[in-house]
Chains A and B, each alone.
Chain A
């Protein structure tokens, strides 16, 4: 039961966001029709339509990434809306599970600017 509710929430949020992004693009560029986007990411238009309506669960990580790339959206945000965590992030956490689990929990309620301070900056030296 709990699992079903989880999927319904993500199906709806992912689909709505996807549709909104695509429609905004289509307003300026007709190549963002349902049919053409489906063609570019390699799915049937009918399937993409069901995803947008929330009739089916969000697609695979690969398809979600392709959709994000086609629509100029952030792949991690789209994966999160789909209820998924990127496989490369999963690998990072699995490599040092305690460290990253502690870090993520501690940062849960931190404001964005505080989190950004933790991002690794490229060090600029003398040249």
Chain B
């Protein structure tokens, strides 16, 4: 079952473990300069609001009502990353599609899990995903653009502007595998508590901040996601193997993306302000991030996604204005926070 809890999409699997769940938050962030350079991780600037589509059904077109799921606001050219977590650490295999195109492989939507190529991420090992996997160690950032103008990954790959939005499909680990892992963890916890009795630790290290900023919203067609600036990020190989997942109960969900004006008209709420530019953020001395997981293996990428063009490349090809962004900025040295993956305001 899927619930919405404080703007987090929460996948619960009571038949596997009533205490465990995995969740996904859509994080507001800076749009990376689409300048061919590879950027470090931008910060999280809070979550995008999410609402049940059914609560506003009478104001929505029939085609959207049929989808069910959730609605979220994204301004044109606004960026987003997906923040994953798993309570109790239950491993979950999660497929992520935009416009029904897989963000990891570029293949069309299906209910299948595949390990060749691997078309899913494994929570909680994978802490986040910022975009389309275009190289073994890089993604192109998720950037919202109006569907029907040729920018979205869906249109680039299929030639059609049909779906837009964001789709998820989650499968939990099989019950017997999960119970074995829990037993091992309890043993390890006992051992570490015993070791701690005689250990002493020193203090150190500091924290970080981020900055919200207003920007204008624009009206347009329903939104889809497009490849933006390039960023350093790996997608980790499944360490448990394809047989570890219980594919008997798919949990799937469609998130319809509305532009700011649609969001205000439909929900009556103001959308969140768009963030500062990457340049202003950097000039203010605020941190970028890095994440290193030495024991994880990065997946190779597929030809389909390697060939995606960025928003700026398409705008140039069409002779249109590029979305406003900073120019001439160098990727800054990232803040490496240590063992705990951290990249949010106040963490």
Contact = CB atoms under 8 A, between A and B. Distances in A.
Query: Are chains A and B native binding partners rather than an unrelated pairing?
Result: yes
A31 to B, nearest CB: 6
B216 interface: no
A33 B203 contact: yes
A58 to B, nearest CB: 21
Contact of A27 (B193, B253, B340): B193
B148 to A, nearest CB: 18
A28 interface: yes
A42 to B, nearest CB: 10
A33 B201 contact: yes
A112 B3 contact: no
Nearest to B68: A125
Interface residues of B, number: 39
A116 B10 CA distance: 13
B9 A122 contact: yes
A123 B14 contact: no
Contacts of B338: 29, 31
B111 interface: no
B68 A35 contact: no
B315 interface: no
Contacts of A27: 192-193, 195-196, 199
Given A27-B193, A28-B192, A116 B340 contact: no
Given A36-B203, A122-B3, A113 B196 contact: no
A26 interface: yes
B2 interface: yes
B66 A125 contact: yes
Contact of A125 (B2, B4, B67, B193): B67
Given A23-B196, A26-B196, A116-B1, A123 B18 contact: no
Contacts of A6: none
Contacts of B167: 127
B69 A123 contact: yes
B201 A124 contact: no
Interface string B240-267: 0000000000001110000000000000
Interface in B84-107: 87, 100
A127 B338 CA distance: 41
A91 to B, nearest CB: 14
Interface string A103-127: 0000000001100100111111111
Contacts of A23: 193, 196
A62 interface: no
B202 interface: yes
Given A33-B203, A123-B54, A116 B18 contact: yes
A23 B189 CA distance: 11
Contact of B4 (A28, A35, A122, A126): A122
B335 to A, nearest CB: 14
Contacts of A126: 66-67
B340 A29 contact: yes
B189 A24 contact: yes
A44 B2 CA distance: 40
Given A121-B1, A123-B68, 18 more contacts: A24-B193, A27-B193, A27-B195, A30-B201, A31-B339, A33-B202, A36-B204, A112-B18, A113-B18, A116-B14, A120-B3, A122-B68, A122-B253, A123-B53, A123-B54, A123-B69, A127-B69, A127-B163
Interface of A: 23-24, 26-31, 33, 35-36, 40, 74, 112-113, 116, 119-127
17 contacts: A24-B189, A27-B192, A27-B193, A27-B195, A28-B339, A30-B201, A35-B203, A36-B203, A36-B205, A74-B87, A112-B14, A116-B1, A121-B2, A122-B68, A123-B68, A126-B66, A127-B68
Q: Which A-B residue pairs are the 9 nearest by beta carbons?
A: A125-B68, A30-B201, A123-B68, A27-B192, A127-B67, A27-B196, A122-B2, A125-B67, A125-B66
